[in-house]
Chains A and B, each alone.
Chain A
Amino acid sequence: MAAAVGLGLLTLSACGSSGSGSGGDSKTVTLVSHDSWAVSKSVLKDFEKQSGYTVKVLKDGDAGQAVNKAILTKDNPQGDVFFGVDNTLLSRALDNGLFQSYDAKGSALVKPEYRVDQTKHRVTPIDTGDICVNYDKAYFSKHKLTPPTSFADLVKPEYKNLLVTENAATSSPGLGFLLGSAAQYGDDGWQGYWKKLKANGVKVVDGWEQAYDQEFSGSAGGKKAGGDRPLVVSYASSPPAEVIYADPKPTTAPTGVSYGTCFRQTEYAGLLSNAKNTKGGKAFLDFLLTKEFQQDMPLNMFVYPVIQGAQVPQEFVKYGRQAPDPETMAPAKIAADRDQWVKSWTSLVLK
């Protein structure tokens, strides 16, 4: 009996694997990305028509998870192209040999400030966005209080118990905010800053969804959930999102951005090492830098384009803007210090 069942199992698995070749054929390009990946159907159709490839998308959890899983499976990757590694995790992907070189067509159009890895071209910058503190306009006007504008403001007594942020160990905006404070106060100063922030009643939750949709009093979701924190770490593009997804649409955004608290995040894509369809993958990377895709991105993923001459949608101009002078940090610096900082931050803030 054991033998019979054993055979049955083997047959089953054999059937299963024979159907698994779909990712490897030359007519299909497989994109591995995080849950936030989105593109207009018509734009993707255009690419498929012009290139002759069919695009298959595999979304693999949030940004950090998707990167980690891609690294673990890099010898036999699940797809050809990976999109969605940002500057805070870039070094992890590069050090682990996740990508192979490819200089995408159109890379010359990328604005200089977003270019990295210029000698090897293992990654291509695709989009950018700012992680900033957002505020609930209604709360501040009701309490006749000026919203904070800088990192320094956040530790002032008038803003006590108002801010909610994300766990820097588990959330990408949480990590961005920590790196922003580290860029502002330096290697020796950021811990002192967070001590003050903690004393001033900062609340930490695990992820962006919880912070923004549950705790923050300014978002549509937060209002419904009875959120009572008028300050939240989110994105500079969140106010336009509040308008676009509202029905009826308000004339001004209900939330604002404290532009002095921003950290700039850039997302990259690359051709996976050991990709089965390298040709298709290259064509797809080229597509990501076309004007058509770059201009389609903002309203789908709430990020800004990285190439020169790409238009941003009206709503982005009207209800928000990019931070004029965001904090930044070199990927090498992030790579060297990130883990140690997160560890110290965890002990300092969460325990």
Chain B
Amino acid sequence: MALPVAFFAVFFAYPVAAIVARGLKVDGTWQLGRIWDVLVESDIRHVLWFTTWQALASTALTLLIALPGAYVFARFDFPGRHVLRAVVTVPFVLPTVVVGTAFLALVGRGGLLDDLWGVRLDTTVWAILLAHVFFNYAVVVRTVGGLWAQLDPRQEEAARMLGASRLRAWRTVTLPALGPAVAAAALMVFLFTFTSFGVVQILGGPTFSTLEVEIYRQTSEVFDLSTAAVLTIVQFVAVGAILAVHAWTVRRRESALRLVDPAVTVRRPRGAGQWTLLAGVVASIAVLLLLPLAVLVQRSLDTADFGYYRALTHDDGGTLLVPPIAAIGNSLEYAVAATAIAVVIGGLAAAALTRRDAGRLVRGFDALLMLPLGVSAVTVGFGFLIALDKPPLDLRSSWILVPLAQALVGVPFVVRTMLPVLRAVDGRLREAAAVLGASPWRVWREVDLPLVRRALLIAAGFAFAVSLGEFGATVFIARPDNPTLPVAVARLLSRPGDLNYGQAMALSTILMVVCAVALLVLERLRTDRTGEF
């Protein structure tokens, strides 16, 4: 427990506090009156309102579209299932700049819809909502589907044998078991859309702005640090409140579930209804997820002889100072380091949180661990720059800064993925093992690990993926001569000219492929039931 707490204190609480203090402290005195001044501004209230309702709408839309997908992936066996499962996760880990660009290429001026039917959505809120679904589909499929696959279908069957209708059996047996996972997924989607940055910035234009975008503008462009600080606090409080409520509901509903190997719960779809459902899910994935990705690939190839790809190996001397291709190596190194940090910190935190004797204080930490997801990445990035620049923690020009910031975003994923599974492990198994003479370490290895191994891998995969795609904080602390893939894409996109745009598309495509391959490998590992991974 000590390590996660120390980690968050030093690399999260302290930098964020430093940047907020910088904004609210003038000549050594706190200007708390500023908070009220900012909150009563009509522009700011407008931002608050838009942030909230678009997040609610995005979450509802994502659940509506992705829950059938979660069911299909959990219960049906069909050709290409593993590949498709990996593919739907790719959007989630793509940097928001890439997603924004893909959608612009699809629904913007001169985009596919515009060419076909003269439909343009780039100035409407629909582009934002659809991009959010695109982004978060995998969150629902992975969090809900992961648990769903491990629920024993025989329990539902037993209920039906006893005379319950299909709906009633589902409602009384499956739904309560899924509840915490659905809530967790909805919460994550809400958090991501509530704090949406790149998508809103690119698709929203100057009129639509979320809190996070506004914090970025106030800090980075208007340089009104006190307004940014107030907005950071507002976002902090809002997210904290949501998390507290969530932690409470989840704890009330969590119970020991009978988890089984997902391999025994999947089967071929039967009957017209199930085939239709499968076809519907595949079709929605094709239109909403694959199409934007395909547009990216197509644009990256929109010149003779892979010209944009070949250009990536040249030192352009201008935009990036290094050949864009170097960003791939940087990104992978950072992501591996960030994943290691996130898994260790998150794993320890999750283990501590599930302990029987964990007090209220420790359980409160559960919600606290989620906060980095809800705090503006820009705030964290700037906080790092101004807080971690003096000995003994002079990390500002150290490469470790980037993995640290990325791990901060990865840890909540690890905790969230591990926690439901760890909590669902039947405590009697552990007690039985202990009674039979196993040491605590052996209990963990023989009882917990086999059951949570899958969750651990999913967690690591998520952490790796979000590290690869993390943009908001990285863009502030990545050394200009050491860009990550998303940073390189953004730099290229911000320069005029065909070649830069084409290279951005090519790099995005490479990032997409790297993510897809990583996730596919993970899928293989997941299904390999013999190895100890």
The answer, among B386, B398, B495, for a CB contact under 8 Å with A17, is B398
The answer, among B43, B318, B394, for a CB contact under 8 Å with A346, is B43
Stretch from A1-9, A119-127, A261-269 at the B interface: A1-9
- Determine the chain B residues whose CB is within 8 A of the CB of A225 once the complex forms: 109-110
Question: Contacts A59-B321, A339-B224 hold; do A170 and B206 have CB atoms under 8 A apart?
Answer: yes
- Determine the chain A residues whose CB is within 8 A of the CB of B495 once the complex forms: 35, 209
- Determine the chain B residues whose CB is within 8 A of the CB of A205 once the complex forms: 205-206
Stretch from B71-79, B214-222, B323-331, B454-462 at the A interface: B214-222
Question: With an 8 A cutoff between CB atoms, is A213 at the interface?
Answer: yes
Question: With an 8 A cutoff between CB atoms, is A141 at the interface?
Answer: no
Assess whether A64 is in contact with B221, with CB atoms less than 8 Å apart.
yes
Q: Taking the nearest CB of chain A, how far is it from the CB of B407, in angstroms?
A: 10
Stretch from B187-195, B475-483, B512-520, B521-529 at the A interface: B475-483
Question: With an 8 A cutoff between CB atoms, is B385 at the interface?
Answer: yes
A351-B201 Cα distance, complex, nearest whole Å: 16
A73-B43 Cα distance, complex, nearest whole Å: 29
A78-B482 Cα distance, complex, nearest whole Å: 14
A59-B317 Cα distance, complex, nearest whole Å: 12
A62-B46 Cα distance, complex, nearest whole Å: 27
Question: With an 8 A cutoff between CB atoms, is A214 at the interface?
Answer: yes
Question: With an 8 A cutoff between CB atoms, is A75 at the interface?
Answer: yes
Assess whether B220 is in contact with A68, with CB atoms less than 8 Å apart.
yes
Question: With an 8 A cutoff between CB atoms, is B223 at the interface?
Answer: yes
Question: Contacts A35-B491, A64-B220, A226-B110 hold; do A16 and B399 have CB atoms under 8 A apart?
Answer: yes
Assess whether A69 is in contact with B317, with CB atoms less than 8 Å apart.
no
Residue of B6, B223, B319, B481 with highest tally of chain A CB at under 10 A: B223
Q: Which chain A residue has the least Cβ–Cβ distance from B395?
A: A13
Q: Which chain B residue has the least Cβ–Cβ distance from A5?
A: B344
A283-B436 Cα distance, complex, nearest whole Å: 77
Question: Contacts A13-B400, A78-B397 hold; do A204 and B206 have CB atoms under 8 A apart?
Answer: yes
Question: With an 8 A cutoff between CB atoms, is B396 at the interface?
Answer: yes
- Determine the chain A residues whose CB is within 8 A of the CB of B476 once the complex forms: 69
A58-B475 Cα distance, complex, nearest whole Å: 13
- Determine the chain B residues whose CB is within 8 A of the CB of A61 once the complex forms: 220, 475
Assess whether A23 is in contact with B397, with CB atoms less than 8 Å apart.
yes
Question: Contacts A169-B222, A225-B109, A342-B222 hold; do A76 and B390 have CB atoms under 8 A apart?
Answer: yes
For chain B residues 174-222, which have a beta carbon within 8 Å of chain A?
Answer: 201, 205-207, 217, 219-222
Question: With an 8 A cutoff between CB atoms, is B497 at the interface?
Answer: yes
Question: With an 8 A cutoff between CB atoms, is B287 at the interface?
Answer: no
Question: Contacts A65-B220, A167-B206, A347-B43 hold; do A12 and B480 have CB atoms under 8 A apart?
Answer: no
Interface string of A196-222 (1 = CB under 8 A from B): 000000001111010011100000010
For chain A residues 315-341, which have a beta carbon within 8 Å of chain B?
Answer: 339
Question: With an 8 A cutoff between CB atoms, is B161 at the interface?
Answer: no
Assess whether B494 is in contact with A35, with CB atoms less than 8 Å apart.
yes
A6-B4 Cα distance, complex, nearest whole Å: 10
Q: Taking the nearest CB of chain A, how far is it from the CB of B259, in angstroms?
A: 26
A75-B109 Cα distance, complex, nearest whole Å: 45
A123-B17 Cα distance, complex, nearest whole Å: 33
Question: Contacts A9-B341, A59-B321, A206-B205 hold; do A169 and B217 have CB atoms under 8 A apart?
Answer: yes
A207-B494 Cα distance, complex, nearest whole Å: 9
Q: Give the size range of A's interface with the partner.
A: 35 or more
Q: Give the size range of B's interface with the partner.
A: 35 or more
Assess whether B207 is in contact with A16, with CB atoms less than 8 Å apart.
no
Q: Taking the nearest CB of chain B, how far is it from the CB of A153, in angstroms?
A: 24
- Determine the chain B residues whose CB is within 8 A of the CB of A347 once the complex forms: 42-43
For chain B residues 291-348, which have a beta carbon within 8 Å of chain A?
Answer: 317-319, 321, 337, 341, 344, 348
A227-B108 Cα distance, complex, nearest whole Å: 12
Q: Taking the nearest CB of chain A, how far is it from the CB of B93, in angstroms?
A: 23
Question: With an 8 A cutoff between CB atoms, is A94 at the interface?
Answer: no
Q: Which chain B residue has the least Cβ–Cβ distance from A12?
A: B400
Assess whether A221 is in contact with B496, with CB atoms less than 8 Å apart.
yes
Q: Taking the nearest CB of chain B, how far is it from the CB of A235, in angstroms?
A: 12
Interface string of A6-36 (1 = CB under 8 A from B): 1001001100110110010000000000010
Question: With an 8 A cutoff between CB atoms, is A92 at the interface?
Answer: yes
- Determine the chain B residues whose CB is within 8 A of the CB of A221 once the complex forms: 496-498
A221-B321 Cα distance, complex, nearest whole Å: 24
Q: Taking the nearest CB of chain B, how far is it from the CB of A275, in angstroms?
A: 15
Q: Which chain A residue has the least Cβ–Cβ distance from B491?
A: A35
Assess whether A75 is in contact with B389, with CB atoms less than 8 Å apart.
yes
Q: Taking the nearest CB of chain B, how far is it from the CB of A37, in angstroms?
A: 9
Interface string of A35-74 (1 = CB under 8 A from B): 1001001000000000000001111111011001101110
Q: Taking the nearest CB of chain A, how far is it from the CB of B274, in angstroms?
A: 44
Question: With an 8 A cutoff between CB atoms, is B382 at the interface?
Answer: yes
Q: Can you list 23 A-B pairs with a CB-CB distance of less than 8 A? A: A2-B2, A2-B348, A13-B393, A13-B400, A16-B401, A17-B397, A17-B398, A35-B319, A35-B491, A56-B481, A58-B479, A58-B480, A59-B480, A64-B220, A68-B219, A68-B223, A72-B385, A73-B385, A76-B394, A205-B205, A342-B222, A346-B43, A347-B43
